[in-house]
Amino acid sequence: MNQQPRALLTMPRFSLAKLPTPIDELPRLAQELGGPQLLVKRDDLTGLATGGNKTRKLEFLIADAQQKNATVLITAGGPQSNHCRQTAAAAAIAGLDCHLVLGGPRQPPTGNLLLDELLGATIHWTPKLQRNARMSELAAAMEADGQRPYVIPVGGSNSIGALGYVAAMFELVEQLHEQARQVDRLFFATSSGGTQAGIVLGATLAGFAGRITAVSIDQTPDDSSEEKFLAGVCSVANGAAELLGAHQRLRESDFDVNYAYLGAGYGVVGPLERDTVKLVARTEGLLTGPVYTARAFGAMLDQIRRGDFAPQETWLFWHTGDETALHAYAADLTPL
């Protein structure tokens, strides 16, 4: 177990998360599958308008916004974005205004979108491919109006946000050490890549020895080739290493991404997600969300069903928290 870099401990951080999040066992599910021992890291319990992986990123992003004397946050995502929901909540806590650019078409307020509105965010509908341009336009208009906007990229996935998952990896390694556990494989959902960048860099710095597999949830048109996606993740990770004054640098070959579970695309709930939501809920009383965690969890279960494990292994699923979207997908989850 390695020490956290001093720069990570002293980095400006706005407290939002309830840490450490617990590691729970999933014994009934493991027994039903006849697979490896299964653990879940409960980042659905981070707090911040329920919880999720964006809480850890936002601790560093909000601190940076405050250092820059920002008065308003701007970010973007899909209509059911967990990142937007959590950014709206963080803005409320930090006393900042929040503008969300959501990829249209406009939807009725349910799931995360309902929560965005309740949390007081101003919503701007835009075609998906124009989200970044719309964020820049909004920022320019606000500046001209004397406000101080702070733009957070989609998913909070820049090097500052990724620090949240560098710190999270140190947290995990310390918990495993205290609990005298070893984890052979770790699975989680990747999309904009900041979580993955932080986890893989954090694993290198903290000395985590297990294999880390990120399950791709979507391929957006602008990163439709695997190489391009990984180039982005790699540069976010290396930017984070630089912020920490760490000498380590990662290469694309250091990242393991599974692109085999994209189904019919981002946010399209298919049998994998539907069956996983129900199985995990009914065996363990644990909720997974339709867009991210059920897909990634389902991918992990598929590997187990294919017999791709050794009997003594322990696998850990890193729950990134998206059950608030379930209601918006009720129709896709039936028959119940």
Ligand X SMILES: *Cc1c(COP(=O)(O)O)cnc(C)c1O
> What long-range pairs does 247-254 form, CB within 8 A, spacing at least 24?
248/201, 248/204, 248/205, 250/200, 250/201, 250/204, 252/227, 254/200, 254/204
Per DSSP, the three-state class of 41 is strand
Q: Which is nearer to ligand X, 266 or 292 (CB)?
A: 292
Q: Got the DSSP string for 176-203?
A: HHHTT---SEEEEEESSSHHHHHHHHHH
Nearest-approach distance from CB 115 to ligand X, in angstroms: 13
Chain CA centroid to CA 263, Å = 19
Q: Indicate the residue among 111 and 193 with the shorter CB distance to ligand X.
A: 193
CB of 54 to ligand X, least distance (A): 6
| Annotated catalytic residue, options 15, 81, 136, 216 | 81
Tell me how far the alpha carbon of residue 214 is from its chain's centroid. Answer: 11
State yes or no: is 191 an active-site residue.
no
In this structure, the number of other CB atoms found within 10 A of the CB of residue 287 comes to 17
* CA 27 distance to own-chain centroid: 25
CB of 320 to ligand X, least distance (A): 3
Q: Give the H/E segment covering residue 284.
A: helix 271-284
If the CB atoms of residues 189 and 206 are measured against ligand X, the closer one turns out to be 189
Closer of 37 and 236 to ligand X (Cβ): 236
Quick one: DSSP state of residue 214?
A: E
| Nearer CB in complex with ligand X: 37/295 | 295
List interacting residues with ligand X (CB under 6 A). Answer: 52-53, 82-83, 155, 157, 189-196, 289, 292-293, 320-322
- Provide, rounded to whole angstroms, the least separation between the CB of residue 190 and ligand X: 4
Backbone angle region of 176, left / alpha / beta, with phi > 0 → left and psi within -120 to 50 → alpha: alpha
Q: Known catalytic residues?
A: 81
